[in-house]
């Protein structure tokens, strides 16, 4: 059975076609710079990569290109071979405790949460509507980044703000990257060979979040009401003192929206280093003696270690730390900078193992905490939920 997993962004659309239940990738690709005359469609199948450039003005056209690519390259012979579509949706709020089969009511509910994910949910809806139009008779499922974190207790997800903000507007911590944290923590639990587990998952990419997973359930996570809270990221600041808003508004005459834009798009690695939002550029610059680039890595590592230490206390111990996502899986210097700060919890890195790539244990033989690199696969989690809900 062929299931397609879709992740629509404001100007992009990623997909992966999987054979289920084998969970085998058949084809994948991404449409980038949607709405631009210089858009690009990259299609991967059977070990080959095909790139098409040109004008792609909207997500409907992007969906057409994806389906056209599947047919043109012989991945499928007819559309009816696709028996399910799963859509990643960042924000499900308190409306969705689980993934949901999409209908008009579900789309309306997702739209009602746009204020909680203004950069993501509207784009997801565009992608959902485009696929519903292209494949009207196929089950479509929304899989929410926030669902896995619904198990957090009140003490973890409530803020110490006027309670009516929560009651009226849903102001609370929701978290993100839930499908990734769930996927990776399940693999880690299998490796540990027991159900009673205390695991911290470090999903570190351009966006990054840290989650405490106890006995398979999220009990706390670093991202909050939006993906801005938590640790410094590629362009996001992570936690800051809220009085910064008043200071910068007064000193520079900026609006709240402008300051939020600075915190979301001009901070983190980029803001501190002045070099780039890309960890590879930051590491290269640090090796060349750029102090601010090194500082960007050091600040992030310190904040991540802070979260891991607090989760050690929260869960009453720690069995494993898992690194995943683009930076977590590939940036050995970042992993080293983090683990070097964790001797108090008994974590120790094997420098030789840390130099390798792919799925691997990288903890030293005398480490009291297992440390792994486990590549994430959010698309598989999405496809699994499509399979579960189509029955």
Mean pLDDT confidence for 4-14: 82
Residue 10: is its pLDDT beyond 70? no
Question: Which residue in the block uniquely carries the two structure tokens 């784009």?
Answer: 123
120 annotated ligand binder: no
207 annotated ligand binder: yes
CATH superfamily, domain 194-373, is ATPase, nucleotide binding domain (3.30.420.40)
With CA atoms as reference, report the closest residue to 227 among 381, 90, 132: 90
326 annotated ligand binder: yes
Cα(252)–Cα(10) distance, integer angstroms: 29
Active-site residues: which are they?
Answer: 145
Please answer whether residues 370 and 363 qualify as being in contact, where contact means their C-beta atoms are separated by less than 8 angstroms: yes
Least confident piece of the model among 119-123, 272-276, 278-282: 119-123
Q: Which residues touch 71 (CB under 8 Å, ≥6 apart)?
A: 77, 78, 79
At the topology level, CATH places domain 2-144 in: Nucleotidyltransferase; domain 5 (3.30.420)
Interhelix angle 378-390/178-192, nearest 10 degrees: 90
199 annotated ligand binder: no
Higher-confidence position of 33 and 231? 231
Residue 383: is its pLDDT beyond 90? yes
* Percentage of residues in the chain having pLDDT higher than 90: 71
With CA atoms as reference, report the closest residue to 206 among 307, 321, 327: 327
With CA atoms as reference, report the closest residue to 152 among 314, 265, 291, 277: 314
What are the CA-CA distances from residue 255 to residues 121, 151, 235, 247 (Å)? 23, 36, 19, 11
Confidence band, pLDDT 50/70/90 cuts, at residue 48: confident
Torsion sign (Cα): 154, 158, 163, 165:
negative
pLDDT tens digits, one per residue of 154-170: 999 999 999 999 999 99
The pLDDT value recorded for residue 13 is 83
7 annotated ligand binder: yes
| Residue 185, CB-side half-sphere exposure with 13 Å CA sphere | 29
Whether 2-144 shares its CATH topology with 194-373 is answered yes
The pLDDT value recorded for residue 389 is 92
Residue 173: is its pLDDT beyond 90? yes
206 annotated ligand binder: yes
Cα(304)–Cα(203) distance, integer angstroms: 11
Mean pLDDT confidence for 318-340: 94
Q: Where are the domains of the chain?
A: 2-144, 194-373
Residue 247: is its pLDDT beyond 80? yes
The helix (run of H) or strand (run of E) holding residue 133 is: helix 121-134
Instruction: Sort 44 into a burial class: Cβ within 10 Å, 0-12 / 13-18 / 19+.
Output: middle
Rg of the chain's alpha carbons, rounded to an integer?
Answer: 21
Cα(45)–Cα(66) distance, integer angstroms: 12
Confidence band, pLDDT 50/70/90 cuts, at residue 388: very high
């Amino acid at each position: 059975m062929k299931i397609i997993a879709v992740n629509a962004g404001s100007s992009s659309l990623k997909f992966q076609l999987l054979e289920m239940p084998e969970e085998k990738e058949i084809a994948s690709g991404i449409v980038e710079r949607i709405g631009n005359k210089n858009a690009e469609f990259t299609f991967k199948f059977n070990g080959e990569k095909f790139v098409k450039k040109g004008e792609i003005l909207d997500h409907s056209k992007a969906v057409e290109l994806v389906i056209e690519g599947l047919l043109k390259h012989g991945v499928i012979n007819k559309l009816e071979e696709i028996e399910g579509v799963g859509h990643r949706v960042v924000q499900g709020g308190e409306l969705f405790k689980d993934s949901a089969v999409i209908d008009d009511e579900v789309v309306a509910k997702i739209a009602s949460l746009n204020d909680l994910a203004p950069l993501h949910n509207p784009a997801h809806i565009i992608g959902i509507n485009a696929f519903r139009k292209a494949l009207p008779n196929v089950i479509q499922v929304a899989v929410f980044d926030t669902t896995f974190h619904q198990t957090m207790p009140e003490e973890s997800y409530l803020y110490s703000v006027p309670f009516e903000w929560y009651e009226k507007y849903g102001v609370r911590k929701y978290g993100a990257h839930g499908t990734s944290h769930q996927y990776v923590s399940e693999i880690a639990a299998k490796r540990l060979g027991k159900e009673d587990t205390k695991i911290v998952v470090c999903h570190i990419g351009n966006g990054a979040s840290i989650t405490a997973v106890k006995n398979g359930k999220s009990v706390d996570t670093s991202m909050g009401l939006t993906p801005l809270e938590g640790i410094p990221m590629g362009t996001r600041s992570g936690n800051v003192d809220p009085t910064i808003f008043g200071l910068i508004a007064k000193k520079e005459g900026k609006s709240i929206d402008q300051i939020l834009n600075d915190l979301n798009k001009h901070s983190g690695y980029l803001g501190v280093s002045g070099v780039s939002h890309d960890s590879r550029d930051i590491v290269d610059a640090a090796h060349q003696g750029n102090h601010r680039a090194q500082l960007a890595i050091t600040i992030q590592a310190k904040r991540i270690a802070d979260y891991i230490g607090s989760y050690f206390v929260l869960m009453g111990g720690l069995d494993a730390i898992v690194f995943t996502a683009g930076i977590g899986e590939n940036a050995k210097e970042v992993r080293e900078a983090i683990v070097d700060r964790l001797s108090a919890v008994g974590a120790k890195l094997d420098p030789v193992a840390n130099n390798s790539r792919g799925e691997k244990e990288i903890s030293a033989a005398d480490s009291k905490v297992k440390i792994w690199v486990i590549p994430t696969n959010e698309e598989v989690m999405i496809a699994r939920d499509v399979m579960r809900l189509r029955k």
